[in-house]
Amino acid sequence: MYSRILMTTAFSLIMAHSAQAADKVPVKLPDFEPEQYVHTAPTLADLDADESIHPELRKVIKRGYDLFMNTQQLRGENVFNDMSCRNCHLGEGRQHWSAPIWPAATTLPDYRDKNWQVNSLEERIAGCFSYSMNGKPPAYGSDNMLALVAYHQWLARGAPVYEKNIAGRGFGKVADPAQTPDYQRGKKVFQENCAICHGADGQGQRVNGVVQFPPLWGDGAYNWGAGMARVDTAAAFIKHNMPLGQPGKLSDQEAWDVAYYINAQERPQDPRFEKSAAYTREKYLNFHRRTLYGTEVNGRVLGEHNNTGAKPFLKPEALRSRTFD
């Protein structure tokens, strides 16, 4: 299990630092639209209280929860960076504006623009393994995949199937910036608001080998094909979730600038890589027009390298296309 005690100690030390600031900052999140479906995802306590759940199923859902919260237990097998699912899907994957995971269980199978085909829930989870975890998804139908699917589906309890107008889905949006996002301004925002937890070098922090604060770039971070590598996606995540415990602290401009700064740093290669970063960017431009991959920043082309991080392979076999022709 995750070292909860260590997490709490490191965390309270740092929160004590920012407590003064935290007091002054009201938590500010976007409003829901009146016609949207608002879901309250059930908790593990609800799971224990629900007698209609077979004890075997309860075990499987709890296994899925455990994998979601501490995905590092699959390190070297399915995960090749420092991430756990919970790092980007806060509140156990239940939280609005933190890409709550349950909508995938009620809206899939559906077409996804990322890989131009209809995706199952397993395939969606596999996507976060291949890119966000710089890894290799557990096999479709395997015990671990089943457990993760069961956890997603449990969180969706009571939600209407194929309802797409979901309140608080994804990370929300940040209005277009008044000024073009800027590296130097972003660096300043980072040093003042983020470095205390994520490290001045963005490499996160470990205590006794356990990741306490996840890295934002470098070998331990999400790779160039990850959704978080898109500057707009990162800006929205940051605006509505960071600094931790103070969502809404940053102005829209600051969120864009710091998202640009983070995503102008190097990270493991996009597993879809072919020929060159410029070629791969062009081929997946529907995705990469929102990233800095294959573009020149501070005199070097981002992603032009063969570093796959701790992963001894490039393309997980799950990244295949299917055809019904």
Side chain identity at residue 97, one-letter code: W
Residue 47 vs 250, nearer CB to ligand HEC = 250
Residue 88 vs 277, nearer CB to ligand HEC = 88
In whole angstroms, how close is the CB of 84 to ligand HEC at the nearest point?
A: 6
In whole angstroms, how close is the CB of 313 to ligand HEC at the nearest point?
A: 18
Contact 22, 245 (CB under 8 A): yes
Give the binding site for ligand HEC (CB under 6 A): 14, 68, 71, 83, 85-90, 99, 101, 103-104, 124-125, 128-129, 132-133, 148, 152, 169-171, 193-194, 196-198, 213-216, 221-222, 226-228, 233-234, 237-238, 242-244, 250, 258, 262
CA angle 311, 151, 103 (to 5 degrees): 90
Residue 22 vs 278, nearer CB to ligand HEC = 22
In whole angstroms, how close is the CB of 320 to ligand HEC at the nearest point?
A: 19
Cα separation of 11 and 91, whole Å?
15
In whole angstroms, how close is the CB of 260 to ligand HEC at the nearest point?
A: 11
Burial pattern 138-147, b for ≥16 Cβ within 10 A else e, equals beeeeebbbb
Residue 154 vs 213, nearer CB to ligand HEC = 213
Token readout for 171 is: 């990370």
Cα separation of 92 and 98, whole Å?
10
Cα separation of 91 and 171, whole Å?
13
Cα separation of 249 and 242, whole Å?
8
Cα separation of 54 and 162, whole Å?
26
In whole angstroms, how close is the CB of 308 to ligand HEC at the nearest point?
A: 16
CA angle 85, 90, 95 (to 5 degrees): 125
In whole angstroms, how close is the CB of 13 to ligand HEC at the nearest point?
A: 10
Residue 47 vs 221, nearer CB to ligand HEC = 221
| Look-up of token digits 């996840």 | 214
Residue 49 vs 303, nearer CB to ligand HEC = 303
Residue 166 vs 277, nearer CB to ligand HEC = 166
Query: Mapping DSSP to helix (H, G, I), strand (E, B) and coil, where does residue 206 land?
Result: strand
Contact 86, 95 (CB under 8 A): no
In whole angstroms, how close is the CB of 325 to ligand HEC at the nearest point?
A: 27
Of 222, 274, 253, the residue nearest 81 (C-alpha): 222
In whole angstroms, how close is the CB of 64 to ligand HEC at the nearest point?
A: 9
Residue 119 vs 280, nearer CB to ligand HEC = 119
Contact 117, 111 (CB under 8 A): yes
* DSSP run (H or E) holding 59: helix 55-69
Residue 125 vs 264, nearer CB to ligand HEC = 125
CB atoms within 10 A of CB 16: 10
In whole angstroms, how close is the CB of 34 to ligand HEC at the nearest point?
A: 21
